[in-house]
Structure 1
């Protein structure tokens, strides 16, 4: 059904924060169960106010009803809405019901910014030592990278090798950066600190390479070159790398290559986990939700102290050789 068929036609994003608007609709027959092809409670858990969540929760048949394998409470925790999560728990939602990858909303909350969101019941296991360490590193890494502008950027995060080894594997040629320019070749503001080092004809194969704790980062702030399969295959010999292209048209695209073999492609770093995700994948997706760069670094164990490997200037500017980089 559409929003119109459910009685929610014309309700804007801000209206989901307005208890009076939502209650008025519900009192006049709007469906408390459905909105826009999904469950209304899941929708307001993500985007509504706590008062709206409580209003809808008291009108639904099952406050723990599933949509795509998750409850509304899971959605509130996942999207960082602790007040909505509390409202759902007060309405009877179960924080400790195992859902994706064996995680419950309550255990997931223990790894987030409000670990005291729900009291841990006796007999309910908390986080393991490894999960606590991952959560600490997640908070550190997200803070270290800060608020990045990376639209249009290509990255390859490589475990266990430094910048010089990456250059060697790629058979790339060292280049010296030219004086800074204010705009990229298309005339857009330059998000890379004013450092586009070469003329337009050379940019397609020019990448920056930077050593970071745990490995190195290959970056191209204006294109997808680091994520080309041939580049990732050479970089991943005997190790693993995660490729990211922040496609301005279709969103973040990720890939995993281990020792020259593609293990995953067309991935969505920083997005919600798949229904069949492992426990480790669920935790990583939660810690780095909506942060594709941090996710890409963390997945292969990179621990940059700041954003320089992404925002520049890199340790080295290099030019890739002329070859078919689209094939392994």
Structure 2
């Protein structure tokens, strides 16, 4: 561990702990497969970032294609980003998708993070990207933060709750039965519980939600819901993290996606911006793909406009019997 034995997650917030390790011989440039400055930029205190920035061989060293400054910007740590710039980090060094940390910050919640002119030749956000960023910030703010682990949902463009119910061939559940079920859904047998979902109309389309299972995000449910339109399915798997699926015109497309996970090394410029805007906000990313504009989290967490019982099908196996 190149002298970092004993460092814990909490250590990066305590200057005394990190300084003691460095003084005892810890390598400021290497921590196993990681770089200490990158880790501190993401989860550490500004004081720890400043200490490491003064000891590394190059404050702009890349790790997996990005600098520590990039990591601070993406992680939403403007305090650490300012410390790194003061230590000589370059805000305009192009990285993932051609974005620089400074360019990305201009599209984020702190557009004045680096209050000096953009150098000539540096690609800042286009007008379209600025509009995408504004929409993303508004969506993240409207949804807020809430618990959704274990939830499955489908965000579908251009149809309302009534049309979603028709496409799923579902049966509305009466209010009294729904209340009894919702009092403790885990008392119901799992096979029956997985056939109950909520449907809510939101600006731009609708959301089908299941706070206790993955059924709305399955290939069959998504195929039925997206005939003539598009949708994004999300299952917040408690064991393996967020799992995303795209469907277009009744056809299941890209799957195994990780909404809310941030930008990746080989992402396009568009995908880097999306990853940045919705890092840590998987539900917002799913809604954004479908162009939905919910004003709060009710469509996901409930109470839904309508609770429904789905037909008893194998929703994981896509067949050719999609409904129009």
TM > 0.5 fold call: yes
Which digits, 9 at most, give the CA deviation of each residue in 1:171-213, with x for residues without a partner? 11222132635753436xxxxxxxxxx8766322111111111
8 Å Cα contact 1:120-1:126 kept in structure 2:
no
2:43 to 33, 47, 50: 47
Aligned residues: 314
1:139 to 130, 137, 140: 137
Distance in 1, matches of 2:163 and 2:186, equals 32
2:7 to 4, 11, 20: 11
Instruction: Tell whether 2:25 aligns with 1:35.
Output: no
1:79 to 70, 75, 82: 75
The residue that corresponds to 1:121 in the other structure is 118
8 Å Cα contact 2:96-2:265 kept in structure 1:
yes
1:262 to 229, 232, 252: 252
1:298 to 255, 275, 288: 288
Distance in 2, matches of 1:327 and 1:82, equals 46
Superposed displacement of residue 20, structure 1: 2.5
Distance in 1, matches of 2:249 and 2:146, equals 30
TM-score normalised by structure 1 residue count = 0.90
1:63 to 50, 55, 59: 59
Structural mapping, 1:140-219, within 5 Å:
140-177=138-175, 178=177, 180-181=179-180, 183-186=183-186, 202-219=192-209
8 Å Cα contact 2:107-2:125 kept in structure 1:
yes
Superposed displacement of residue 82, structure 1: 0.8
Superposed displacement of residue 41, structure 1: 1.1
TM-score normalised by structure 2 residue count = 0.91
Distance in 2, matches of 1:20 and 1:12, equals 13
Distance in 1, matches of 2:242 and 2:32, equals 25
Distance in 2, matches of 1:235 and 1:70, equals 39
2:94 to 87, 91, 98: 98
Superposed displacement of residue 296, structure 1: 0.6
8 Å Cα contact 2:186-2:193 kept in structure 1:
no
8 Å Cα contact 1:253-1:266 kept in structure 2:
yes
Instruction: Tell whether 2:275 aligns with 1:285.
Output: yes
SS at match of 1:34: coil
The residue that corresponds to 1:321 in the other structure is 311
The runs of 5 or more residues in structure 2 that have no matched partner are 319-324
Over the aligned positions, Cα root-mean-square deviation in angstroms equals 1.8
8 Å Cα contact 2:178-2:307 kept in structure 1:
no
Which digits, 9 at most, give the CA deviation of each residue in 1:60-105, with x for residues without a partner? 2221111111111100001111111111111211111111111111
SS at match of 1:266: strand
The residue that corresponds to 1:248 in the other structure is 238
Moved more, 164-173 or 115-124: 115-124
